[in-house]
Each structure stands twice: as structure tokens, then as C-alpha cells.
């Protein structure tokens, strides 16, 4: 149990590069098919359930996410520490996406899509104030939030491990660049 907790806390410090890469690439491929099956359009900091992407769009959006995060964090990593390696940043991005892939199961039987549509319709017609959200929807939302926080945590801890960063401005730049990259790639992904 202690080993598992250590692995969840920082897999980048415990598992060798090649194994991380194999797990990352494998889950990346599985994640593409999960996103397509559950009809979710993934972006860096959100899932879009209002669009129904085709397989080509899902593949392109996943590649855009991985490539853009890897390039941005590699450049920042090289600024912080010239010894930052490409494979460490790539592994960070690939492994960090695993919790997001798990959240795709929340749209089993189009649950999220239907509940979100109901909520948006209730918001439009003003009946949102008289309705209470289903308990299952609240539970699924909170579970998704936990996995999202873990995704951000893995991105951060992987970047920190790969770059050996220790200063507050490193962390601040990391989060600022994460948000900027999300905004830029969201426009690109939505234009596909």
C-alpha cells in the first residue's frame, strides 16, 4: 500500500523513463478511443460535451494537446534547467493525461451529455432555480473534479521533477503557461 501511495504521489521519480513512455503511449492510444467512444472532445483544461467529434478530430485534438504541452514545458524547462530532457517532459504530459481518460467513463450512456443538456435548457428557460440537480450528477461532477485536480498535480509534479525546479517564479510560470496554452490550443481544437 505504501508503494502504491508513493507511486501515485510521484510516478516520475519511481518509474524508469522507458516504462513511463510505454504506459503513456498505451494510455494515449486508449484515451483516443475512449474519447471517441464516449463522444467527448478533450482540451487541456476542459472537456467539451456539446460537440460530437469524429475519430479524426479526436486524434488531432489529442496530438495537439500532447505536442503543445510538451513543447511549451520543454522550452520553460530548458530556461529553468538546461539539462531538462525531452523524454521527461513528454512522459509528464502522457502520464498526467491518465486521470482525464478515466473521467471519460462519466459519459457512459451519454449521462454527462444528457444531464448537461437538461441543465443548459433549464438555464435558458429559467427553470434552473426550481430544480435540484440529481445526486448522481453531483457525485459524478465531484469525482471528475478530483481526477482533474490529480491531472494538474501530475503535470506539476512531473514538470518539477523533470526540471528540478525549486523557485516560486518557476511554478508561477508553469501555471501561467498552462492557462495560455489551453486558451491557444482550445481555439485550434475548436477550429478542426
Three-state DSSP class for residue 157: helix
Q: Check residue 152 and give its pLDDT.
A: 97
Q: Which residue has the higher pLDDT, 116 or 55?
A: 55
Q: Check residue 111 and give its pLDDT.
A: 85
> CA–CA separation, 152 vs 138, rounded Å?
21
Average pLDDT over residues 58-77: 96
- Ranking 29-33, 34-38, 127-131, 158-162 by mean pLDDT, the lowest is 127-131
The neighbour count for residue 192, using CB atoms within 10 Å, is 15
Average pLDDT over residues 28-54: 88
For residue 87, is pLDDT > 80?
yes
Tens digit of each residue's pLDDT (9 = 90 or more) over 112-152: 888 878 887 877 887 777 777 788 888 988 999 999 999 99
| Contact criterion met (CB below 8 Å) for 141 and 118 | no
- DSSP one-letter code for 48: E
Q: Check residue 177 and give its pLDDT.
A: 97
Q: What is the average pLDDT score of the chain?
A: 91
Tens digit of each residue's pLDDT (9 = 90 or more) over 165-176: 999 999 999 999
Average pLDDT over residues 2-16: 90
Q: What is the DSSP string of 166-183?
A: -SHHHHHHHHHHHHHHHH
pTM: 0.91
Q: Give the three cell numbers for residue 8.
A: 501515485
Segments making up each domain of the chain, as ranges:
15-190
Q: Check residue 190 and give its pLDDT.
A: 83
Q: Which residue has the higher pLDDT, 162 or 41?
A: 162
> CA–CA separation, 103 vs 101, rounded Å?
5
Q: Check residue 50 and give its pLDDT.
A: 61
Q: pLDDT over 90 for what percent of the chain?
A: 67
Amino acid at each position: 500500500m505504501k508503494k502504491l501511495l508513493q507511486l501515485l504521489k510521484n510516478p516520475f521519480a519511481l518509474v524508469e523513463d522507458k516504462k513511463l513512455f510505454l504506459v503513456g503511449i498505451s494510455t494515449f492510444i486508449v484515451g483516443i478511443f475512449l474519447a471517441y467512444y464516449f463522444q467527448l472532445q478533450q482540451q487541456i483544461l476542459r472537456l467539451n460535451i456539446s460537440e460530437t467529434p469524429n475519430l479524426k478530430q479526436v486524434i488531432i485534438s489529442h496530438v495537439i494537446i500532447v505536442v503543445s504541452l510538451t513543447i511549451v514545458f520543454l522550452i520553460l524547462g530548458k530556461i529553468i534547467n538546461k539539462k531538462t530532457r525531452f523524454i521527461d517532459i513528454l512522459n509528464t504530459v502522457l502520464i498526467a493525461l491518465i486521470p482525464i481518460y478515466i473521467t471519460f467513463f462519466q459519459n457512459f450512456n451519454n449521462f454527462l451529455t444528457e444531464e448537461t443538456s437538461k441543465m443548459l435548457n433549464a438555464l435558458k428557460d429559467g427553470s434552473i432555480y426550481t430544480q435540484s440537480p440529481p445526486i448522481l450528477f453531483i457525485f459524478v461532477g465531484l469525482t471528475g473534479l478530483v481526477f482533474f485536480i490529480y491531472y494538474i498535480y501530475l503535470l506539476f509534479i512531473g514538470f518539477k521533477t523533470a526540471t528540478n525546479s525549486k523557485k516560486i517564479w518557476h511554478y508561477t510560470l508553469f501555471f501561467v503557461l498552462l492557462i495560455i496554452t489551453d486558451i491557444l490550443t482550445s481555439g485550434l481544437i475548436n477550429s478542426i
